[in-house]
Amino acid sequence: METVVSGIRSTGNLHLGNYYGAIQNFVKMQHEYNCYFFIADLHSLTTHPTPANLHANVKSVLIEYLAAGIDPEKATIYVQSDVPEVAELYLYLNMNAYLGELERATSFKDKVRANPDNVNAGLLTYPVLMAADILIHKATKVPVGKDQEQHLEMARTFGNRFNRLYDSEYFPEPYAFNFSSNLVKIPGLDGKGKMGKSEGEGNAIFLSDSPEVIMKKVKRAVTDAGPTVENQTKPDEIQNLFDLMKVVSAPDTITHFDNLYNTMQIRYGDLKKQLADDMIIATAPIRERIADIAADADYLRKVANLGADKARESAQKTIKEVREIIGFKRF
């Protein structure tokens, strides 16, 4: 059975981008593959969270994983820092990761631009840690959104380089995966790019948002004065709302609003209300489970401990073999 690995950083509540880009696939894949889904708390250290914040965010991602339908009996759910073998593999892979290629990674360049005062080595070698996450379980499929595609390419590069250096075929090649065959990028409500935790207030719809908050955020989305010519191309901010509809609404609904737009009869208030209603319906089952799961500290502890044990068993096997390949021998 093929092995699947993916993770989400513990940097806040999960949003529709995380859900449709990643978690929805996790939930489907757990029935067909040997799955490892983790909470990337080591990755979140690049922005120096306080201990209290770090822990609260790890806990909320765990709760939201479970509320979204990841089943700890089917998939291994674990916290990245519970598996120190990941950090060991990261160290080995770092010896074969070069400054130039790391500096060229789009995510690194974006982070440098956004926060030039915090260009730390962890940020630079972020794709190496990600490769270690994947290679530690020798995964071949990695369910992620479009923004992670380059990181997957780098994971293949680092795995192949290790194989070549030690003349082995030890690591298989991991590929980004989405059931719909294309990787997705869910736009944010501001019409300027992807939905993200740090893209500004009101840009993201969180799985834990109440119906009232969802309605308020969608109503605030930017629109223009309306179409002035029949069948004209939609401006970005309007196309954006239609793109979000494609994610949560029925095809008939989209056709209906498309027709209204094309014949200049659209009322953006109606479009937004429909979009918000469909988002509320799409997230309802998850939202409703969050409070119950959050209240069950025993269950959360059990899930995290079970996952840590299972993930470590797999990781220890890999690290033992990697150590032998590298040439670490006991006297």
> What is the binding site for ligand TYM (CB under 6 A)?
5-9, 17-18, 21-22, 40, 43, 130, 133-134, 142, 144-145, 147-148, 184-186, 194-196
Selected catalytic residue, list 59, 74, 197, 317? 197
Answer yes or no: is 292 a known binding residue. Answer: no
In the bound complex, what is the minimum distance in angstroms from residue 268's beta carbon to ligand TYM? 22
Active site residue 194: yes
Which H or E element spans position 175? strand 175-177
Answer yes or no: is 57 a known binding residue. Answer: no
- What CA–CA distance (Å, rounded) separates 82 from 142? 20
Chain centre to alpha carbon of residue 296:
25
Active site residue 216: no
Answer yes or no: is 29 a known binding residue. Answer: no
- What CA–CA distance (Å, rounded) separates 264 from 127? 47
In the bound complex, what is the minimum distance in angstroms from residue 79's beta carbon to ligand TYM? 12
Phi, psi for 140 (deg, rounded to 5): -115, -20
The nearer residue to ligand TYM, 64 or 147, going by C-beta atoms, is 147
Active site residue 197: yes
- What CA–CA distance (Å, rounded) separates 106 from 127? 11
In the bound complex, what is the minimum distance in angstroms from residue 213's beta carbon to ligand TYM? 18
> Bridge-partner residues for 142, per DSSP?
176
In the bound complex, what is the minimum distance in angstroms from residue 313's beta carbon to ligand TYM? 19
User: Both tokens of residue 154?
Assistant: 């780098």
Sheet containing 3-9: give its strands across. Answer: 76-79, 34-40, 3-9, 141-143, 175-177
Answer yes or no: is 141 a known binding residue. Answer: no
Active site residues: 111, 194, 197
Residues placed in the known binding site for ATP? 9-11, 17-18, 145-147, 186, 194-198
